[in-house]
Amino acid sequence: MEAGESTPQVEKTSQTPVAKKNGRHSVTKPKTSLPTRFTRSQVVPDWTIEEMLVLVNEVATINEGSLKTLSTYQRWKMISDNCMALGVVRSSNLCRRKWETMLAEYKKIKDWESQSGAGSYWCLESERKKEYGLPAFFDRELFGSIYGFLKAQETQPDSDMDSESEGLIRKMKTALHDVTMDLGPNSSTRSKACKSRAVKAQEIVRKLQESSELMHAILRGELSETAGGNGTHSSTDVNEPNHQTKFVRRQGDELIKVFGTLVVNLNQFVELVKENGLSLKRNP
Give yes or no for residue 272 having a pLDDT over 50: yes
Q: Is residue 282 part of a domain?
A: no
Q: Is residue 17 part of a domain?
A: no
Q: What is the DSSP letter of 125?
A: -
Our count of domains for the chain comes to: 2
pLDDT at 133: 93
User: Pick from 102, 121, 153: which residue ends a domain?
Assistant: 153
Give yes or no for residue 83 having a pLDDT over 90: yes
For residues 65 and 49, state if they share a domain. Answer: yes
pLDDT at 57: 94
For residues 129 and 201, state if they share a domain. Answer: no
pLDDT at 268: 78
pLDDT at 259: 74
User: Pick from 104, 131, 153: which residue ends a domain?
Assistant: 153
Cα–Cα distance measured from residue 57 to residue 103, given in angstroms and rounded to the nearest whole number: 14
Give yes or no for residue 252 having a pLDDT over 60: yes
| Residue 105 pLDDT level (bands cut at 50, 70, 90) | very high
Structure-model confidence comparison of residues 152 and 268, the more confident one: 152
Of the candidates 207, 209, 211, the one whose C-alpha atom is nearest the C-alpha of residue 254 is: 211
Q: Is residue 28 part of a domain?
A: no
| Residue 146 pLDDT level (bands cut at 50, 70, 90) | very high
Q: Is residue 35 part of a domain?
A: no
Cα–Cα distance measured from residue 149 to residue 172, given in angstroms and rounded to the nearest whole number: 33
For residues 52 and 135, state if they share a domain. Answer: yes
For residues 172 and 66, state if they share a domain. Answer: no
Share of the chain above pLDDT 90, in %: 28
Task: Tell me what the pLDDT averaged over the chain comes to.
Answer: 71
For residues 168 and 253, state if they share a domain. Answer: yes
Of the candidates 252, 79, 264, 70, the one whose C-alpha atom is nearest the C-alpha of residue 164 is: 70
Q: Is residue 49 part of a domain?
A: yes
pLDDT at 188: 45
Mean pLDDT, to the nearest integer, of 101-130? 90
For residues 148 and 167, state if they share a domain. Answer: no
For residues 216 and 168, state if they share a domain. Answer: yes
For residues 176 and 234, state if they share a domain. Answer: yes
pLDDT at 200: 76
For residues 123 and 186, state if they share a domain. Answer: no
pLDDT at 233: 43
User: Pick from 112, 127, 153: which residue ends a domain?
Assistant: 153
For residues 144 and 165, state if they share a domain. Answer: no
Cα–Cα distance measured from residue 244 to residue 77, given in angstroms and rounded to the nearest whole number: 9
Q: What is the DSSP letter of 233?
A: -
Give yes or no for residue 283 having a pLDDT over 70: no
For residues 196 and 115, state if they share a domain. Answer: no
Q: What is the DSSP letter of 121?
A: G
Of the candidates 106, 188, 194, the one whose C-alpha atom is nearest the C-alpha of residue 150 is: 106
Q: Is residue 72 part of a domain?
A: yes
For residues 139 and 195, state if they share a domain. Answer: no
Identify the domain containing residue 85 by its residue range: 44-153
Q: Is residue 21 part of a domain?
A: no
pTM value surpassing 0.85 = no
